[in-house]
Structure 1
Amino acid sequence: MDSVETTYNSSNLRRSSQRSMLSPSPEQLAELLHLVAEDRDEHAFSQLFTYFAPKVRAYGMRHLRADGQAMELVQETMILVWRKAHLYDGSKGAASTWVFTIMRNVSFDMLRKVKSNREDCLSGDIWPLIEGEEGDQEDEALQDQIQQQLLSYIDLLPDLQQQVVRGVYLKQLTHQELADQLNVPLGTIKSRLRLGLQKLRSHLEVNDD
């Protein structure tokens, strides 16, 4: 629906950020997505927008570091939610996980346009996937859910790439510390990390589709 692309603009985002809304349950979010997919229900989409827009904008502000780009992230993410709602499969995960997967992929594409293809560009958009505010139990639960999903994909990486990804992102080792620990050149660590992150992104995109 073309009107979705123009109706939910920056002014809608500001209003939705200010509007109080009881937090819907995972089941309710899934039902709203179902209504959008099956009936192209604009009211259901409006509820999804109201719930997700402030969260997506907050993510955009942290990762893209510009209000205009954060709002663009909201716009592009929610347009894709409208267009791809029929692809959501509740048996594969929560509605929130699905929406934030779309958000992350849009964010990655935006970063790729303005940054060189470095491993920090890749990792900044993949890990962590969502950063909950301290004390926000809902966001903490979502973070845990998405990290568990990502950990399952790390298990699919080749052993050497898995070793580096785990060392950097789970053990919090620097690239140099990991190179010293594994007794390999620093460039080897960076190369394995870049390849591992690229494969992680491929797994995530397949899951999104």
Structure 2
Amino acid sequence: MQTHYVEVNNQVNPIQNQPDNDKEKANLDAWLLQVASSQDKQAFSLLFKWFAPKIRAYGIKKFNDPTLAMDLVQETMTLVWRKAALFNQNKGNASGWIFTVMRNHSFDMLRKIQSNKEDTISDELWPLFDKQVESVELDWLETRKLKKAVSVLPPNQRVVVEGIYEQGLTQQELSEQLSEPIGTIKSRLRLALTKLRQEYEHE
């Protein structure tokens, strides 16, 4: 088996995520096939022991967060357990298949993290748009301040915020109403909410 190398600090080091030899590669393939055919827990344990530290290292580099890295380990290996039957030895080896599962799931995690950030901003601002908020002085002042901040947003961002939070439209409905791609609506909303939050942080 050909060994791959990368240069790090002017030194040549083997990529540790690759099986060291044909025997190790064969073992990984055999263990994954055992999991696929009979959900062999011992074989899965051996796979976990080999892949977990490598997935964790990838996760730390990807997320810069040990907790998220461990989430990536657990969730990747859970997917391996559930989807092992999809592994086709004729199309590749176990290592390549599992690392593909890992990379795909890491992208899903990144998308979810970004989405949660947007939801957090939205949740912080949503009550100030809610017409059911009691008309006490503080709420009135906060709503007035927010509406003033919205009024100075760029027109294409303002119409998205007003459409979603004041008119109650979904992003899809607004996309159709404005004849704009859903991705454009999401981008404008994200930019607008970020600006609004910054305005509040500077108050």
TM-score by length of 2: 0.45
Rg larger in 1 or in 2? Answer: 2
TM-score by length of 1: 0.44
- Larger RCO (CA under 8 A, 6+ residues apart): 1
